[in-house]
Amino acid sequence: MEKFSKWRDPATGIQPFLPPAPPSTSPIFIAILTPFSAAHSIVRALLLAIDALLYLLLVHGVALLLTPIPPLHRIVSSIFTSITCRLALFLMGYWWIDTETASSKRGAKGVAQISNISPKRGDLIIANWTSYIDALYLAFRHNPTFLLPVFSLLPDVPTTSDFGRKTGTGSANILTSTANQPGLLGYMPVSLLTLLARTGNLPPTAAVPPEGMFKTLREARRRSRGPVCLFPEGTTSNGRAVLRFGDGVLAEEDVGEQAGIVWIKFFKHSPPTPFAASAVLPFPTPLRHLLFQTLYTPTPFQRRSLLVRTLHPSASPSSPSFLPSEILAATPGGLAGVAKDGRGAMREAIGVVLAETGRVRRVGGMGWVEKKGFLDYWQSTRR
């Protein structure tokens, strides 16, 4: 939409914050199917509520009794989490989830190498973030400790409503200068339910480091009982591109100088159809999106598709052959986010390979700071 034209990346022209619009449908057809859609959504919402209660009872109840025995607690908690999260995905229409390996090796040998291993304790999973579906899948497959970057406070910037045609410049009114980036304070571990509720929101900010926060990824990987998962973008996008990572995220000493594999995963959702809205959620309205878009379908078993692409470990940032300087030198504008002393090279290189894994582009001019302005303006238009 033209009124949001300011939040297009100046280099690519991509708008990473607006969800894709579904194809138009006949109003008469919609009116006929509305009673069926309402009935199906209510039934599936009730089943999801029961599943959520089972998750709380089993994971935060039964499994919690095994806390004195950490290895057994981890196994039982992972089993209960896998069952309940897979059931939730099934009720949302994800009967089958496709996976692919982006391998630097050709032939069956390269693919077979990754099929026999999975993230374990000490490993780091780096993924893009587009929806609560992404978090449910990761919990189902790996049950990691989820981390969100915590930044220092961002000064309030007045929001203007003069965008698009009101400025007389139309789509030329693009945000061409990036705001000052707040510094990174650390990484906050969050539970699965907290992460689901935070979908679409900005990353946490604080004046002082909050209690329970890990100062470095190295500390988080060492102290967690399973793999850790980080969404370096800090917030959700519409999946068309990889957002700019916040300053200080993914320091070289946290990624390249520690035992354990760094896994790169990219989630790609199917485009919307007249009968199924898009699963991507750039707005901070996860419950509303779940009830009125994910579950509100004209058929009781509306099938949705999700593709999860995983970069082969031989090409991941934990591989000895991973050279950030070479990756950035071969990428147009790749060195733009790197300081003169070389700081930030690992962060920028990981952004490049994450985009390549998903076969999308990076939007170097759009990150969570720009999304704050986007959300402020979006909320002002709803009043």
More confident residue, 272 or 157: 272
Q: Does 35 fall in a domain? A: no
DSSP symbols for 157-173: -------GGGGT-GGG-
Tally of helices (H runs) and strands (E runs) in the chain = 11, 10
Give the whole-angstrom CA distance, residue 87 versus residue 335. 44
- Whose structure tokens read 């981390």? 147
- Helix H or strand E encompassing 88: helix 70-91
Helix or strand (DSSP H, E) at 149: strand 145-152
What distance in Å separates the CA atoms of residue 250 and residue 186, rounded to the nearest whole number? 10
For helices 70-91 and 27-57, the axis angle rounded to 10 degrees is: 170
Give CA angle at 28 (24, 31), nearest 5°: 100
Largest pairwise CA distance in the chain: 66
| Domain that residue 191 falls in | 2-13+97-106+113-381
Dihedral of alpha carbons 125, 127, 131, 133, sign: negative
Sign of CA dihedral 124, 130, 131, 134: negative
Task: For the chain, give the mean pLDDT.
Answer: 84
Please check whether residue 56 lies inside any domain of the structure.
no
Confidence of residue 157 (pLDDT cuts 50, 70, 90): low
7 belongs to a structural domain:
yes
Please report, for residues 40, 85, 130, 131, 269, the alpha-carbon distance to residue 276 in angstroms, rounded to integers and kept in the order given: 13, 21, 17, 15, 12
In angstroms, what is the C-alpha Rg of the chain?
Answer: 21
pLDDT at 108: 47
The pTM assigned to this predicted structure is 0.89
Is 184 among the domain residues? Answer: yes
Instruction: Find the range with the poorest average confidence among 149-163, 283-297, 300-314, 343-357.
Output: 149-163
Q: What is the pLDDT of residues 357-367, one digit of tens each?
A: 999 999 988 89
Q: Residue 176 is which amino acid?
A: T
Least confident among 31-45, 110-124, 257-271, 296-310: 110-124
What is the full DSSP assignment across 184-209?
EEEEEEE-HHHHHHTTTSPPPEESSP
The count of domains in the chain is 1
| Gap between the Cα atoms of 112 and 117, Å rounded | 9
Domain annotation covers residue 88 = no
Contacts of 50 by beta carbon, 8 Å cutoff, 6+ apart: none
Measured in whole angstroms, the distance separating CA 50 from the mean position of its chain's CA atoms is: 26
In a domain, 19, yes or no: no
Q: Give 184-209 pLDDT, tens digit per residue.
A: 999 999 999 999 999 999 999 998 88
CA distance 318 to 157: 39
pLDDT at position 118 is: 86
- What's the CA gap between 108 and 131, in Å, rounded? 32
Each residue's pLDDT tens digit, 19-38: 888 777 767 777 777 787 78
Is residue 90 in some structural domain?
no
Which secondary-structure segment (H or E) carries 255?
A: helix 252-255
Give domain status of residue 363, yes or no: yes
